Amino acid sequence: MRDKSLGIFLVVLFGISGITVLMLAWVQPMPASERILTTIIGSIGLFVALVRALRLKSLHAGADAEQVSVEVEVKDKP
């Protein structure tokens, strides 16, 4: 099984960065050309976060992994 902590960190990083860039682009007064470029960059950050989040949800343990039923027996302590 792969470690998903780096993937989760990147999703959070790109998501927060994209939201921050979009907020600053629309709150700050600036020319339309700069606002369009900044909006595109912020949207790309959110898109990358969305794609990585969807990939994290769809990853499986492995191609050859299968579910196995397990029986558990509990012994009484004296």
The pLDDT assigned to 16 comes to: 95
Both tokens of residue 25? 């682009």
Please write the tens of the pLDDT for every residue from 6-61.
Answer: 888 999 999 999 999 999 999 999 999 999 999 999 999 999 999 999 988 876 54
- pLDDT of 3 above 90: no
The closest of 57, 47, 54 to 21, measured between CA atoms, is 47
Contacts of 48 (CB under 8 A, 6+ apart): 14, 18
The pLDDT assigned to 4 comes to: 82
Give the residue extent of every domain in the chain.
15-58
The pLDDT assigned to 5 comes to: 86
Q: Tell me which of 38 and 67 has the higher pLDDT.
A: 38
Which backbone phi and psi does 60 adopt, to 5 degrees? -110, 170
